[in-house]
Amino acid sequence: MSGFNSSLLTILVFLPAAWALAGLLIPVKTGGSAPLKYWALAGSLVTFFLSIFLYVQFSPHGEEFQWLETASWIPSLGISYSVGIDGISLWLVMLTTFLMPIAILGSFKAVEHREKEYYFLLLALETGMLGAFVSLDLFLFYVFWEVMLIPMYFLVGIWGGKERIYAAMKFFLYTMVGSLLMLVAIFYLAYQHKVQLGSYSTLILDLYKLHIPGVGYFGAQSLLFLAFSLAFAIKVPLFPLHTWLPDAHVQAPTAGSVILAAVLLKMGGYGFLRIAFPLFPQAVSLYQVPFMTLGAIAIIYGALVATVQPDIKKLVAYSSVSHMGYVILGLFSLNQIGVTGSIYQMLNHGISTGALFLLVGMIYERRHTREISAFGGITRVMPLFAVTFMIVTLSSVALPGTNGFVGEFLILLGSWNTNRILASVAALGVVLGAVYMLWMFQRVMFGPITHEENKKLRDLSVREVLVLAPLVIAIFVMGIFPNLFFEKMDPSVQRFLNRSSAGITSQPNSASQTSYAQGNNHGSS
């Protein structure tokens, strides 16, 4: 058992890819396509159960990084294979392993050609995402960061809509530009480690010890911060670097949209937390207000553009721009309430927006259109679908008692303590979010049935209920019992703030945060 524990993270990361490679050996002609589907689903479930073991064994008050594994990789450059997990990355790993089986099960009827390659790419993508979340070496992080790009490129480019090639290329080029600058910055940091401490190293914990000179907008620390921030802001995506996202979402297959929204977008926020803030605290302090401003703009801009969208999937895509703007606003508030709210909002967005894309995919499979004007009155023929859609919609607009409320409330409270003007602007986004989501829901679900095709729509199947039920349960569990998540997260958030304190004035909100979390365990959130 000790040997298993010592390699647990490596097994977790590479299990999906190994399982996918084994799946390539399944003969399609003799076994049909069914074995491929169930093989991929089984592999994702095994990975999820392994992550549950990780969650149960994780001690929030133990070592900062647990299940550490380190092995020399390219010693001449100080590059190593180093992985570990803390209370922040734990939940992002759990989100990834939780959603992948749901995305695979949701693809059973949607994908009917090249199924072997499709499920192989989904599992390979899972390995890339998990690897990025647990990497403690910057070069290893970069490798997994790029590995994620390849499967998603093919998922959009092969199984996407009519404009899939354009969307895939746009996604690829945007991400690559930011990634190349990040790679240059990584090697500069390794060189600085050689200059200051006598040897090359790309280990994150080693680089935390560096003193990066250069204060000011054009100093070395600021330039390095901007190099990393460009890559992370593109991935978030932060206004005005968001334009690749609506195209990728609209053209991607349903599972691709779910994973893209639920997990890949979180890489940007995670990168700020793990890398940019601790390494470049003075630059973070310098750029705090500009990034908070961009976050507030993204909230309002995304909501306004979503309001006028005629396509449901594009509306949900722009809602992601708005919701991720809250994440940036909370992160750059630089206090425990705001940062905790941002991490929780990343989890919330993964659950709620992932569920929305699944619901849109289910209605598209029935009507082969996503135009809002093509629907109306379908509550009468799809009552179970309508109830589920309503729950997820209310979660997306942050109704108290659902997961969305907790994250947005903490972000607004934390940002209010830092910048009241921007917090007030962001609060307007809550109202606009209710406008575009509820207006869309009203047009799709209520009123007379004006299209004959809608009268014959079938309600959710057993498989579709199994796909959506875990997400609906998660919406209420996260909304009513947030402290289940905070208790493993808070010590790591506090360590993050302590490490980033040089050049940053952190506000003493830990007691308020703990009090709020405890209060939510005894009543409404």
| Measured distance CA(171)–CA(175) in Å, rounded | 6
| Measured distance CA(438)–CA(458) in Å, rounded | 23
Residue type, 212: I
CA distances from 359 to 186, 256, 365, 440, 468 (A): 40, 14, 10, 13, 8
| Measured distance CA(99)–CA(105) in Å, rounded | 10
Model pLDDT, residue 5 = 63
| Measured distance CA(267)–CA(501) in Å, rounded | 23
| Measured distance CA(193)–CA(507) in Å, rounded | 31
* pLDDT tens across the length of the chain (525 residues): 455 566 889 999 999 999 999 888 877 654 445 678 888 899 999 999 999 999 988 888 888 888 999 998 988 888 999 999 998 999 999 999 999 999 999 888 877 778 888 889 999 999 999 999 999 999 999 999 999 889 988 988 888 888 888 888 888 888 888 888 899 999 999 999 898 888 899 999 889 888 887 677 788 888 999 999 999 999 888 888 888 888 888 888 888 888 888 887 888 899 999 999 999 888 888 889 999 999 999 999 999 999 999 999 999 999 989 999 999 999 998 888 999 999 999 999 999 999 999 999 999 888 888 889 888 889 988 999 999 999 999 999 989 999 989 999 999 999 998 889 999 999 999 999 999 999 999 999 998 888 888 888 898 899 999 999 999 999 999 999 999 899 889 888 888 888 776 444 433 343 333 333 333 333 333
Q: Which of 91, 484, 513 is nearest to 335 (CA)?
A: 513
> 85: part of which helix (H) or strand (E)?
strand 79-85
Model pLDDT, residue 360 = 92
Backbone CA torsion sign across 166, 170, 172, 176: positive
| Measured distance CA(95)–CA(347) in Å, rounded | 7
> 67: part of which helix (H) or strand (E)?
strand 66-74
CA 482 to chain centre: 18
| Measured distance CA(106)–CA(92) in Å, rounded | 21
| Measured distance CA(342)–CA(325) in Å, rounded | 10
Domain boundaries, the chain: 287-525
Q: Which of 416, 417, 185 is nearest to 280 (CA)?
A: 185
| Measured distance CA(485)–CA(482) in Å, rounded | 6
Backbone CA torsion sign across 457, 463, 467, 469: positive
Q: Which of 204, 192, 187 is nearest to 136 (CA)?
A: 204
Model pLDDT, residue 85 = 92
DSSP assigned state of 238 = P
CA distances from 453 to 112, 359, 367, 494 (A): 23, 18, 8, 55
Q: Where are the beta strands (DSSP E) in 113-252?
A: none
Terminal-to-terminal C-alpha distance of the chain: 40
| Measured distance CA(95)–CA(180) in Å, rounded | 27
Q: Which of 371, 379, 380, 364 is nearest to 464 (CA)?
A: 364
